[in-house]
Amino acid sequence: MRRREEPGGTQTTNGPTSLGSTREVVLRVEKLGYAYSPGRFAIRNLDFEVGRGEVFGLLGRNGAGKTTTVRVLTTLLPPTEGTAYLFGKDLRRCGRAERARLGVVLQAESLDFVSVERNLTLYAFLWGVPREVAKSRAEEMLALFELEPVRSRKPWGLSGGERRRFQVARELMHDMELLFLDEPTVGLDALTRKRILEYLARRARQGLSIIFTTHILQEADQLCHRIGVLQNGRLRAHGPPAEIKRRYRGARTVEAEFERPLTDPEQADLLAVLTREGRGFVPTAVDASAIVFRADNAEDLVAQLSRWGHSRDLEVARISVREATLEEAFVNLVTDDPLANPDGSAELS
């Protein structure tokens, strides 16, 4: 059973976009919890921070508490324990001024009964965006989110993907400092997703902080500076995606080809050498042309392969080590026994 890392370490600034060495915190979450009724917690003991221009990904299985976390942090639900500081102010005392600095794309579909274009400008009006700015921004958003062909249609007549794009576009009609995106890319095709992620990354580089929930882990890996993994309402781990992958990646896949096909006795010998007890190399495919192993210590496996080849005057023609994906690390993390360390979370430096 994997042991949980001890909390600690300093915040790093590595990630898809460098954040610089000094970090202005826009959101600090401290022991935050929300219970539907006494003892029935949806989230508990959450601790994390989000800096200016940082993209923080909240990952977790269905029902892990991602949406509840977003709802509490956007003041839609009051915390029942702990608190958070939004732009330095206690969440319980946050009002119009703090919310005016937020953007929220809810998981639930939200729309008004007017055309797509009118929805954009009407929403901008609600946020007090000057009419001329709203008009030009609406054009920008309609183009960016490929909504021009449907600008005159009512949102409920759009496809699921179009409605999702519309909802993200509408939120971007006003200025904000911290944007909450609750599964913004559900139902979107790969190309649209890529465009939206690129746009969000650009906005983050310009200083927009983003809290992002998703089930598409590749997205989180691509966009987020740091991620937090929620399980049963608790933060199991948080840190840069690279660190999460490194800590929880499990075995990596090593594939090797020799300069000539291996004979049957050679294959048997190689298999015997590599699967000797205690090495932790697991064969997944072995034949005359190539061998594929999974290994916790891929470097050791590569060295062993090389040594075995030398002893038989055989050169390794090609060798590849496939790094674990965030998805594999996530699966390893959330399939671990959550009861082993029920309190606190592992912060990875």
Partner 1 sequence: MKTPPVIRLVVRNFVANLDPITLLVMFGQPAFLIVILGTMFNQLIPTVGASGSYISFLVPGMIASQMITGAVLAGRVFWLDRRWAMVEQIFSGPYLRAEYLAALLLTALLFSLVGVGIMVLVALPLVGIPGLSLVELAVILGTIALGSLFFGGLLIAIGGRIRSANLYFTIQSLLQYFLIFISTVYYPVSSKTPEVLRVIVYANPLTYAANTVRDAFTHTFGPGDLVAGAVLASLATVAFALAVASFRKLELGPVQ
Which residues in this chain contact partner 1 in the complex, by CB under 8 A? Answer: 71, 74-77, 95-97, 99-100, 102, 104, 106, 108-114, 118, 122, 125-128
Please give the C-alpha separations between residue 40 and each of 34, 84, 92, in angstroms, as whole numbers.
Answer: 8, 20, 21
Which residue in this structure is represented by tokens 């009002």?
95
Please say which residue, 8 or 95, places its beta carbon nearer to partner 1: 95
In whole angstroms, how close is the CB of 181 to partner 1 at the nearest point?
13
Provide the token pair at 125.
Answer: 């009006």
In whole angstroms, how close is the CB of 70 to partner 1 at the nearest point?
9
In whole angstroms, how close is the CB of 210 to partner 1 at the nearest point?
15
Please say which residue, 122 or 290, places its beta carbon nearer to partner 1: 122
Please say which residue, 17 or 110, places its beta carbon nearer to partner 1: 110
Nearest CA-CA partner of 98 in 73, 119, 77: 73
By the 8 A CB rule, do 245 and 324 touch? yes
In whole angstroms, how close is the CB of 126 to partner 1 at the nearest point?
6
In whole angstroms, how close is the CB of 111 to partner 1 at the nearest point?
5
Angle (nearest 5°) at CA 165 between 163 and 167: 70
Which residue in this structure is represented by tokens 């599964």?
183
In whole angstroms, how close is the CB of 202 to partner 1 at the nearest point?
24
Please say which residue, 109 or 287, places its beta carbon nearer to partner 1: 109
Which residue in this structure is represented by tokens 């119009």?
96
Alpha helices (H) in 104-232, listed in sequence order:
116-126, 131-144, 160-171, 190-205, 217-223
Q: In whole angstroms, give the CA distance from residue 182 to residue 160.
A: 15
Please say which residue, 106 or 142, places its beta carbon nearer to partner 1: 106
By the 8 A CB rule, do 36 and 42 touch? yes
By the 8 A CB rule, do 66 and 58 touch? yes
In whole angstroms, how close is the CB of 206 to partner 1 at the nearest point?
21
Please say which residue, 173 or 302, places its beta carbon nearer to partner 1: 173
By the 8 A CB rule, do 64 and 104 touch? no
Please say which residue, 138 or 251, places its beta carbon nearer to partner 1: 138
Which residue in this structure is represented by tokens 């042309």?
289
In whole angstroms, how close is the CB of 273 to partner 1 at the nearest point?
59
Please say which residue, 102 or 200, places its beta carbon nearer to partner 1: 102
- H/E element, 246: helix 241-248
- H/E element, 308: helix 298-311
